[in-house]
């Protein structure tokens, strides 16, 4: 009888080991988020047993399921959208011919393409759909993007002393925020870029811009993820960061937090659930209305209870306030109008803060 019980125990151990082996070989469903992965583990049926040695065996053999950011490259490539970049166009060939590419070179091409055309419909709040619309936007707003990014990063020059930095450009458009950030800071330690934009043509151009600016400033391989989605369509797996590219992420929100077409709460939850380590947020927009300013401040407030929250810069300028810049002053020229009365002076909202997530 004792011998039979021992045989039953051995057989049970063999069965359990086989089940565990099968679990290890089971591929994680690509539709799961990192939370669903753990939920699936908890729902798997277990074998009830009173044998201590069998329980210890199970503890030793149960596989450790990785976080989504630690999935294999093959799994990640299956889950995420394919990489997008503008190639073999007149514009890409023009940029590749420029020896020392600067934002002004991108503006020069846009001015020639758009000439006397007005700004695009929606002042950039509507996704740009074609070549002309992208040129209109760059011609009209590139200087303002650059000036606000330059103002915002004045207190962040210590980033150059860090090992590796990831950049996420939310609603990147053609990538003006990223390339302005790279040109102003001259950083060579950016290890990974995430570009998020609902317009496919804009996203491809942003990817091209980022690649060229990165390659002329850094010896590191260009690593980039392009996400062609609206903010409300984003899931955890889209924006999850991998620790191999460092533990500091710079988030760029340039002229996007004041857009009311998406759920701000969903965006905040997404960031809090997926971003690791130290996160620096650079939020810049024109000052339009008090309601839109409050939306930007609501975004900041959502993170104010996070560990090690620090407000680095908070500033704004309205039309009725003393001038901080205009197109003439930005170019280094004297303003021919009375700046305090000039309708061409720029407004700004700048919020820069950091948290640990």
Instruction: For 285-331, give the DSSP string.
Output: E----HHHHHHHHHHHHHTTTSEEEEEEEEEEE-TTSPP---HHHHT
Query: Which of the pair, 144 or 45, is modelled with greater confidence?
Result: 144
Residue 195: phi and psi, rounded to 5, are -110, 125
pLDDT at 38 over 70: no
DSSP annotation string for 175-236: THHHHHHHHHH--S-EEEEEEE-S-HHHHHHHHHHHHHHHHHH-SS---EEEE-S-GGG--H
Question: Quick one: pLDDT at residue 325?
Answer: 84
pLDDT at 110 over 70: yes
Residue pLDDT, tens place only, 40-54: 433 433 333 343 443
pLDDT band at 33, cuts 50/70/90?
A: very low
pLDDT band at 163, cuts 50/70/90?
A: confident
Cα–Cα distances in angstroms (integers) from residue 55 to residues 58, 61, 62, 89, 119, in the given order: 5, 10, 11, 63, 69
Mean pLDDT of 232-255: 91
Mean pLDDT of 201-222: 96
Query: Which of the pair, 116 or 281, is modelled with greater confidence?
Result: 281
Residue pLDDT, tens place only, 267-290: 999 999 999 899 999 999 999 899
List the domains of the chain with CATH numbers.
2-65 (no CATH), 90-356 (3.40.50.150)
pLDDT band at 67, cuts 50/70/90?
A: very low
Least confident of 36-45, 131-140, 219-228: 36-45
Least confident of 66-70, 116-120, 246-250, 289-293: 66-70
**Strand pairing category for 307-317 and 278-285:** unpaired
Q: State in Å, rounded, how far the first CA of the chain is from the last one.
A: 58
HEC secondary structure over 25-91 = HCCCCCCCCHHHHHHHHHHCCCCCCCCHHHHHHHHHHCCCCCCHHHCCHHHHHHHCCCCCCCCCCHH
Least confident of 9-13, 58-62, 143-147: 58-62
Question: Quick one: pLDDT at residue 121?
Answer: 73
pLDDT band at 1, cuts 50/70/90?
A: low
CA dist., res. 262 & res. 244, Å (int):
31
Residue pLDDT, tens place only, 166-182: 999 999 999 999 999 99
**CB–CB of 180/215 below 8 Å?**
no
pLDDT at 310 over 90: yes
CA dist., res. 204 & res. 237, Å (int):
21
Residues whose CB is less than 8 angstroms from the CB of residue 225 and which lie 6 or more positions away in sequence, other chains included: 80, 83, 192, 193, 194, 195
Query: Which of the pair, 138 or 69, is modelled with greater confidence?
Result: 138
Question: Quick one: pLDDT at residue 161?
Answer: 65
CA dist., res. 41 & res. 66, Å (int):
12
Of 20, 25, 22, 27, which Cα lies nearest the Cα of 60?
20
Which tokens is 319 given? 């039309």
């Amino acid at each position: 009888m004792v011998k039979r019980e021992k045989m039953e125990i051995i057989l049970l151990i063999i069965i359990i080991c086989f089940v565990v082996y099968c679990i290890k070989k089971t591929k994680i469903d690509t539709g799961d988020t990192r939370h669903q992965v753990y939920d699936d583990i908890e729902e798997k049926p277990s074998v009830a047993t009173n044998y201590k040695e069998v329980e210890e065996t199970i503890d030793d053999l149960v596989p450790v399921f990785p976080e989504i950011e630690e999935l294999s490259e093959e799994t990640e490539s299956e889950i995420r959208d394919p990489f997008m970049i503008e190639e073999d166009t007149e514009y890409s060939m023009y940029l590749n011919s420029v020896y020392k590419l600067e934002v002004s070179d991108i503006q020069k091409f846009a001015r020639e393409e758009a000439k006397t055309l007005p700004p695009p419909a929606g002042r950039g709040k509507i996704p740009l759909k074609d070549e002309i619309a992208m040129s209109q936007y760059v011609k009209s707003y590139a200087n303002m993007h650059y000036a606000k990014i330059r103002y915002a990063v004045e207190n962040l020059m210590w980033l150059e002393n860090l090992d590796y930095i990831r950049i996420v450009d939310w609603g990147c458009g053609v990538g003006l925020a990223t390339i302005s950030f790279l040109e102003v800071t001259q950083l060579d330690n950016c290890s990974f870029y995430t570009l998020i934009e609902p317009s496919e043509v804009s996203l491809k151009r942003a990817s091209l811009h980022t690649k060229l600016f990165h390659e002329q400033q850094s010896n590191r391989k260009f690593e980039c993820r392009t996400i062609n989605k609206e903010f409300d369509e984003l899931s955890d797996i889209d924006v999850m960061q991998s620790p191999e590219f460092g533990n500091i992420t710079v988030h760029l929100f340039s002229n996007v937090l004041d857009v009311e077409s998406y759920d701000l709460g969903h965006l905040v939850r997404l960031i809090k659930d997926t971003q690791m380590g130290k996160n620096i947020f650079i939020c810049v927009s024109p000052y339009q209305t008090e309601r839109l300013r409050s939306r930007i401040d609501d975004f900041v407030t959502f993170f104010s209870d996070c560990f090690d929250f620090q407000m680095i810069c908070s500033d704004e300028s309205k039309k009725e306030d003393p001038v901080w810049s205009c197109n003439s002053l930005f170019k280094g020229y004297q303003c021919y109008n009375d700046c305090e009365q000039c309708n061409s002076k720029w407004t700004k909202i700048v919020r820069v803060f950091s948290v640990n997530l």
